[in-house]
Amino acid sequence: MSNSFAKILQRSKFASYDPAIAQTYTASRAQRQRGEYGFKRGVIGGESIRVKSQDNELGAVDYSNTTGDAKVVQRISDMRVPVHGVSSAVAPYSSYSDSNSSSSAPPCAKHTHDNPDSPLASLSTRPDIEAMSADEFRRYVARLHERRPAFRSFLGKLAGERAAAVAAMRGQKSEGGQDGKLNTHTPVDLYAAAQTDAYTYQQFLKQEQRKRVDEQRGQVLVSNMHANGGLRYSHPSPIESARFTPPLPGRILPHSPTTRNFANRQKKPIALAGLVATTDMSNLHNMSATDFAGAKDSTSARRDEKAGTANFRVVEKASVGKVPRVVHNHSGKNTLEGAFIHLDVVEAGSLEKMHHFATAFPIGSPEYVSTFEKDKPSGRSRPTGFLVGAQDLPLYQKKRMNRDGENATRISEMMKAARGSTFSAASGWISILSWFVVYSPQIYENYVLQSASGLSLTFVVIWLLGDITNLVGGFMVHLLPPMLILALYYTACDVILLWQMWIYRGNNGISEGGSGSGSEEGVAPTHPTESDRLLSVQEQHRHQQQESHQLFVNLLCTALVVFGGALSFILNADKEYMGTPPLHSTPTAQFAGWTSAVLYILSRFPQIIKNTHTHCDGLSIPLFAFALCGNCSYVAQVLFESTDGDYLWINMSWLVGTIGTVLLDLVVLSQFAYYRYRDSCLKQETDEAD
């Protein structure tokens, strides 16, 4: 299976999977080492596997190794042995099913309309009745009718063999010809034989197949005939009947001598569509039967004619208790005698109480499919009984009873994956909230100081370019929603910072790389006066208020991040693990991602250089603290989401840019700590000198 097709399967859980068909999946050696067979979960298998369930109730893939089957197919292909009955791999259905009914000439010239005895005109391996046109099906049935004499002779031979065996057991002589052979012309009723199982018919087809093999010459593989000639007599499942059959009006019948066979069981007779059907009493909601006695009672002037009437749906196939036989009597009329037809129904409004309702999940949902027993070839067997939860499913019971190491390992891996999904969601929201509040302290400090001298203009411009390229690349590769949301947000915040730098720098005239002090060179310091001391006290008091307000803003932002992360963890605690996310990548998107990574890393260097001149004055340290928290939580989100190699490679540019900025943000934080410690030491020395 190619890698591109595997990605398609990862995007759609049931892209090409049919639980009713046994499918074999293969993978290359490198992909097998990683467990990549095209499913959303890893599978450790051989060269080929047969998938029974793509997603069962335990969230795992049920499969079995079919390396031997694949080798048989490969061996036949390597031998280049032609297969009898198929002239071309791309031939239309009619070319190997019914050449006489095809509107166009078959691919092989020798199989023409003038050659009805050609191999292609015989029974094919598995004739698809649904794919035939009306004319093809008519001709197909006509060919089956041509085999009736041979089939009748075969049944007569079997009847003669049985009679001979019974006679031998009784010590009697068998009835046969003069040469001692069995009588192969024993009269056989084909209609009666059709009511039995298909074993005798399958034996007849095997006999015909042996004749074909004996007549065949050369190295040609003769395909086996279908077990029952391709004619399937199946009935819809109870769930399909209850969902898709129209409700029919019926009437509940009272127990009477004619229906006394219903009295000893929990069934009620129902008159429906000219038949006597049955239903469980729990499906009737305490409905009363029809009061037929009231019609004969002259004292009853009024009788409830609606009593016992309701709409019913058929939930079980009609079973014939006794075979009806059409006979010709002396009156010249055909009569149908001896027919007993039983039909199970349920009230149309009581589907939730139907005992044959195998699962309460919608048809086609993963929960519905996981309740199938796919070990059987038919794929239509379902657990019996009304199932309330997954713990009652037979497949779950079988898994729970299996205590071997392999099952324990699968369960532990699924639990680990579920925890990873929860941590990934929590980390994602921590990243969103960290980047949501990262600009708030700096914008607030610029507003209070009426200055943006602490920020490097080059730092903000490069950061804005990185945000823009990150946003473009994120949309191209369908990045995680948290990154797309915050990319839009902090692009707008970059614009706000640039606007503040333009407004405040125009007012105070501080140049790039300035110290931010208001003293001018060449002006000698003067001795402080009383008014200067009063202004100094007021300035100190105002500075303390600003610091308290700044501390409140920082604490509020921190509390928001912590609360959001905890709330996200709680809400996603029971979230189902969905496996590796779909992968989307283009060269343009990868270029944008790597460009943004380089810009993010380069943006920190101008700020680090400026901090050596300004000593981090006017710089809000929570700006880099929350940026550090947001970057770390984003890396954690990606790693918790999946450690698949392809997934990490697509997100590698964002991971490299994030890790690089984390290291440089640590440098900025160390600068801030160093200069604060140095200022504290200088102030302490000044106080001691005074």
| Helices of type H across 147-183 | 148-170
Residues contacting 177, CB < 8 A, separation 6+: 183
- Is residue 107 pLDDT above 70, yes or no? no
Taking residues 338-367, what's their average pLDDT?
46
- The predicted pLDDT at position 536 comes to 55
3-state helix, strand and coil shares in percent for the chain, rounded to the nearest 5: 50, 10, 40
Report CA-CA distances (Å) from 354 to 235, 264, 269, 394. 18, 21, 17, 19
- The predicted pLDDT at position 94 comes to 44
Could you tell me the residue ranges of all domains in the chain? Answer: 144-222, 238-357, 414-512+547-689
- Answer for the pair 142, 123: CB distance below 8 angstroms, yes or no: no
pLDDT in tens, 329-351: 444 444 444 344 455 666 554 44
pLDDT in tens, 278-330: 776 666 656 677 765 554 444 444 556 667 777 776 665 555 444 444 444 44
Confidence of residue 2 (pLDDT cuts 50, 70, 90): very low
Neighbours of 516 (CB within 10 A): 15
pLDDT in tens, 618-652: 777 777 787 788 778 777 777 776 666 666 777 78
Neighbours of 444 (CB within 10 A): 18
Taking residues 256-281, what's their average pLDDT?
61
Mean pLDDT lowest among 164-178, 396-410, 675-689: 396-410
Quote the CA–CA distance of 459 and 455 in Å, as a whole number: 7
Which residue is associated with the tokens 């380089």? 598
Using a pLDDT cut of 90, give the percent of the chain over it.
Answer: 0
Quote the CA–CA distance of 358 and 361 in Å, as a whole number: 9
Q: Is the pTM of this model over 0.75?
A: no
pLDDT in tens, 485-496: 767 777 888 888
Strand partners, 337: 325
Q: Which two tokens stand for residue 96?
A: 């190997």
Neighbours of 99 (CB within 10 A): 22
- Answer for the pair 183, 160: CB distance below 8 angstroms, yes or no: yes
Quote the CA–CA distance of 372 and 399 in Å, as a whole number: 14
- Answer for the pair 129, 230: CB distance below 8 angstroms, yes or no: yes
The per-residue pLDDT of the chain, averaged, comes to 62
- Answer for the pair 250, 271: CB distance below 8 angstroms, yes or no: yes
Q: Residue type for 349, please? A: G
Q: Residue type for 170, please? A: R
